[in-house]
Amino acid sequence: MPETPEPANSIPGDKPVLRAAARARRSAAAALFGARIGPILMANFMAAFSLPPRAVVAGYSTMRDEADAGPLLAALASRGHALCLPVVEAPAAALGFRQWAPGDALVPGYQGIGEPAAGAAVAHPDVVLVPLLAFDRGGHRLGYGGGFYDRTLARLREAGSVLAIGIAFSAQQVDRLPGADHDQRLDAVLTEQGVIRFEKKDEA
């Protein structure tokens, strides 16, 4: 397996600087792995998770140098799992989800990101695959600054049980990320090295 850079021991607390550094690390990892990352992630997921047959899985449309979840979504579809993709319904709202299957056409949505057409059926995911810029040892995630996944996971968790799995290169791990009260922790992160699971902590 190719070598990846070691995780940073610390990162700047300033969010714009932090995101710039995280993008650079992710870009380097994506260049190192290329198209091989998708099948590796798929194999690691299948070895680590056994989803209920009727579980609905939310993926994402891979953009720029995000870790590619496409092969994993195709494998889940072949096992009979219903899939969906997120839809930005309003800038300050939680994400919606619409049904989707590999091969279905996508239309440009928020910031040009591909999403299912407006006529696709609404979906309610049991598992959410989450893209990210960085993650830490506590399951905190650095996103793109819009707060969409924090609002979405909060809403889904209020309604019931949902499994939130970050999708990343191992080089995206850092020791600690600055957090806020509204931040939603991940349950696990899937990388080319395997799966990292995070223990639940009771809120004070």
pLDDT at 4: 37
30-84: pLDDT as tens digits: 999 999 999 999 999 999 999 999 999 999 999 989 999 999 999 999 999 999 9
19 and 142 in contact (C-beta within 8 Å)?
Answer: yes
4 and 170 in contact (C-beta within 8 Å)?
Answer: yes
Pairing of strands 134-136, 173-174: parallel
Which residues, 6 or more positions from 40, have their beta carbon under 8 angstroms from its beta carbon?
A: 33, 192
> Could you tell me which of 75, 82, 84 has the C-alpha nearest to residue 53?
82
Mean pLDDT over the full length of the chain = 90
pTM: 0.90
pLDDT at 91: 86
Report how far residue 33's alpha carbon sits from residue 192's, in angstroms, rounded to the nearest whole number.
9
108-144: pLDDT as tens digits: 998 889 999 999 999 999 999 999 999 999 999 999 9
pLDDT at 201: 59
Report how far residue 99's alpha carbon sits from residue 58's, in angstroms, rounded to the nearest whole number.
9
pLDDT at 15 over 90: no
Which residues, 6 or more positions from 90, have their beta carbon under 8 angstroms from its beta carbon?
A: none
pLDDT at 7 over 70: no
Q: Pick the residue with more confidence: 121 or 12?
A: 121
Report how far residue 97's alpha carbon sits from residue 87's, in angstroms, rounded to the nearest whole number.
6
Mean pLDDT of 156-175: 96
Mean pLDDT of 143-158: 94
CA geometry: angle at 39 spanning 35 and 43, to 5°?
155
